[in-house]
Structures are given as structure tokens and as C-alpha cells.
Amino acid sequence: MGIEITGWGKCLPPTILKNEDFETFLDTSNEWIVSRTGVKERRISHVPMTELATVAAKHALASADKTAEEMDAIIVATCTPEYTIPSSASRVQENIGNTSAASFDINSACTGFVYGLTTAYGLISSNVMNRILLIGAEKVSYFLDWTQRDTAVLFGDAAGAVVIENVDGDSKLHASKLGCDPAQGKALMLKNFGSNMKLNNLSIEEETNFFGLTFDGQEVFKHAVRTMAKLAKEALEEANLTMEDIELCIPHQANARILQATARRCDLPLEKVFINLDKYGNTSAASIPVALTEALEQNKIKQNSKILFLAFGAGLTSAAAIIDWGSRIQSIKKSRATLPACSKTGLELINQA
């Protein structure tokens, strides 16, 4: 028995917020944002996060030609849930029409998809389950302080999903290296959200208007490059592979300079690194499944190739995983699932956030 990703899909909210839009209310410039991050624009969602997740999930199910009821588990990787309970996964489960699967969320921030992927392969390889729907979905825009130029320009909203199942053959997860450096946890924090809110003695207005993303960009930058390069090497070693065996690396899309520096550090040719952050910014746990879907749409993934996933995020967490891609690189079916239209501009949407 082998294990493969057999379906994939994405959901990008239609409303675009361009770098130039920030110039109208922040002391920043398109030139600064592009040169420091590579981001040109990002999407702002007019719907709740689980609606993005639902549309991406429907595309992944159609791509694998599976029904929702055939899923044994639904996992949502997110750090921007609508509620603490019920889980985001159970909301998506209801939306897609599954009545009995196991449903749970994973919060390791931007590494959530790779943590979820490792969990899903583990559950399937140990025969606990046969088919899992894994979704990375985020509505980061809701939590941003739009007066802070160092964080506001970096993020965007999106969802991506995959179906993972057992198949004939010997495709597998070759290696997965997951880690977390808790001593660095304060380098990237969303305070004032959760059961500590009252302890912080905030007024109701402060609680609802200010979640307080605290952020040490340079520390996270250094940590990201160091750990992704280290875990990539360790994963290759564990899998008994070299970088030459890797067809494509799909990294978490946070900053083009982070990806360039990581690639240099672990002898990964930049041509093998898939980058789409210019269009979407950092969409946290959604960034890898969205990038994976676009890599397939652009014929960047070959049959039976080896794919390297790399990620880092709040925690500070880090992740590297190597999988075999299967023999199918086209979706079996297409879904018509889409979001409702939005008549507002990006600036109008963030004014409401």
C-alpha cells in the first residue's frame, strides 16, 4: 500500500489589496514592500475563514473524484479560527456534507499544513484511516493592526486543500522533520485573543479592536532561514536522498528574500523553488496548499517526482517533509464551487476589519 495526494484545490477571495493601496494611509511604498518582501498584492476576504476552506475542500474532493462522505477525517490547519469551539474542521465538515468523520484543527501557525500532512500520512500508514481531507485556511486580515506598516503589508487571506489517501503502489512520506523553539515564541505572537484576554485588563473595545500581533521581523527572518535549511538537510539525510532527487520545493510563502537565502544555504537551485507570494503575500497555513495547487496548474510537478515542503511560523515552529507525487497530475473532475461576489474594494474591506 502507498499513500498519495490524490486531489487538490484552492480558494482565493476575489478582492485584491495592492501595495499602492497602503501608500494611501501608511508611511510606506510599493518599492519598499517589493524590495524587502517580494509581495505585490494580497487578497482580503469578505467571507468567514471556513467559507474559504469549504470552497477549497470542494475543489480538492472533485479533483480526487471523492465524495465528502468518503473522508475518514477532516483536518483544518489554521491560526485564525472563527471560534475556539466548535472546531473550524467541524464547520467545514457540515458545509461539505460529511456526517461522521473525525474533525479537528491544527494550530502550529504557518507550518500547519506540513504538521497536518505528517499527521494525515501517519494516520493512514498506521491503518487507522484510509482517506483524509486536509485544509490550510486563514483570514489573517481580521487580526491585523492596519496602522502597523511592518506587519500589515505582509499577510493575506486564502485557503488550499488536499485529499490524501492510500493507493496501490509504494508512494510514501520519505521523511518529516517537525520542530518548535518555544524560547523564541515571543518573536511572533497574537496577544489578547483567547482565555488570557480578561487577564490583560483590556476594555471590551480594546479586546475587539486590537488583537496585538507582536513581531520581531528580523529574528523570525534569521530563524526561518536557519531552521528551514537545517531541516531540509536532515529530511534528505533521513530519506537517503540528495537535493538532486527533489523535483520541486514548495515552501511557505512569507518573504522572497527568506526563500532565496534558504535555497542558497541548503544548495537548492532557485529554479526548483515554487514562489507565488507576489500575488498573495503570506497566507500562513494556506500558503503551501495554494502553491501546490498552482504548481500543478502550471505543470511544474512531474509524475512520480519527489516534492519537498518547507515551512516556519509562530511558535517558533519549523517543518520539512518529502513526499512522492503519484502518477496523476491532472484533476479527475472540476468543482464549480465559488465564493459569493464582493462589491467592496480592498480598502473598504480592511476598514471594516
Q: Which residues are catalytic?
A: 110, 252, 282
Our finding on whether 254 is near ligand COA (CB under 6 A) is yes
Our finding on whether 146 is near ligand COA (CB under 6 A) is no
In the bound state with ligand COA, the residue whose beta carbon lies nearer, of 28 and 305, is 28
Our finding on whether 38 is near ligand COA (CB under 6 A) is no
Candidate segments 67-75, 172-180, 215-223, 226-234, binder of ligand COA by CB under 6 A = 215-223
Placement of cell 469578505 in the chain: 46
Our finding on whether 251 is near ligand COA (CB under 6 A) is no
Q: Which of 202, 221, 276, 337 binds ligand COA (CB under 6 A)?
A: 221
Our finding on whether 36 is near ligand COA (CB under 6 A) is yes
Run of H or E including 164: strand 157-167
Our finding on whether 277 is near ligand COA (CB under 6 A) is no
* Residues facing 41 on adjacent strands: 18
Q: What Rg do the C-alpha atoms of the chain give, in angstroms? A: 19
In the bound state with ligand COA, the residue whose beta carbon lies nearer, of 17 and 96, is 17
For the segment 293-332, give every residue that binds ligand COA (CB under 6 A): 312-313
Our finding on whether 40 is near ligand COA (CB under 6 A) is no
How many Cα atoms within 13 Å fall on the side-chain side of residue 200?
A: 17
| Shortest spacing between CB 42 and ligand COA, in angstroms | 13
Candidate segments 32-40, 67-75, 84-92, 120-128, binder of ligand COA by CB under 6 A = 32-40
In the bound state with ligand COA, the residue whose beta carbon lies nearer, of 25 and 210, is 25
Placement of cell 517533509 in the chain: 321
In the bound state with ligand COA, the residue whose beta carbon lies nearer, of 220 and 231, is 220
| Shortest spacing between CB 346 and ligand COA, in angstroms | 16
Our finding on whether 188 is near ligand COA (CB under 6 A) is yes
The C-alpha cell that represents 244 in the structure block: 538532486
| Shortest spacing between CB 75 and ligand COA, in angstroms | 20
Run of H or E including 76: strand 73-77
In the bound state with ligand COA, the residue whose beta carbon lies nearer, of 235 and 258, is 258
In the bound state with ligand COA, the residue whose beta carbon lies nearer, of 58 and 223, is 223
Our finding on whether 28 is near ligand COA (CB under 6 A) is yes
Contacts of residues 144-151 at CB distance under 8 Å and 24 or more positions apart, as own/partner, are 144/213, 144/350, 144/353, 145/210, 145/211, 145/212, 145/213, 146/25, 146/26, 146/350, 146/353, 147/26, 148/213, 149/22, 149/26, 149/27, 149/28, 150/215, 150/217, 151/213, 151/215
In the bound state with ligand COA, the residue whose beta carbon lies nearer, of 108 and 118, is 108
For residue 209, CA distances in Å to 145, 192, 196, 204, 353 come to 9, 10, 16, 8, 9
Widest CA span in the chain = 58
Rounding to the nearest 10 degrees, give the CA dihedral for residues 190, 33, 276, 229.
-70
**Dist. CA 146–CA 150, nearest whole Å:** 10
Q: Which of 99, 126, 196, 218 binds ligand COA (CB under 6 A)?
A: 218
For the segment 147-166, give every residue that binds ligand COA (CB under 6 A): 149-150, 153-154
Our finding on whether 37 is near ligand COA (CB under 6 A) is yes
Our finding on whether 227 is near ligand COA (CB under 6 A) is no
Residues with Cβ within 8 Å of 162's Cβ and at least 6 positions away in sequence, in order, are 5, 7, 8, 9, 60, 117, 133, 134, 289, 292
The DSSP code for 155 is: B
The phi and psi torsions of 158 (rounded to 5 degrees) equal: -175, 170
Quickly list DSSP for 119-150: HHHHHHHTTS-SEEEEEEEEEGGGG--TT-HH
Q: Which of 17, 57, 110, 134 binds ligand COA (CB under 6 A)?
A: 110
Our finding on whether 32 is near ligand COA (CB under 6 A) is yes
Cβ–Cβ < 8 Å for 28, 153:
yes
Residues at the interface with ligand COA (CB under 6 A): 28, 32-33, 36-37, 110, 149-150, 153-154, 188, 217-218, 220-221, 254-255, 282, 312-313
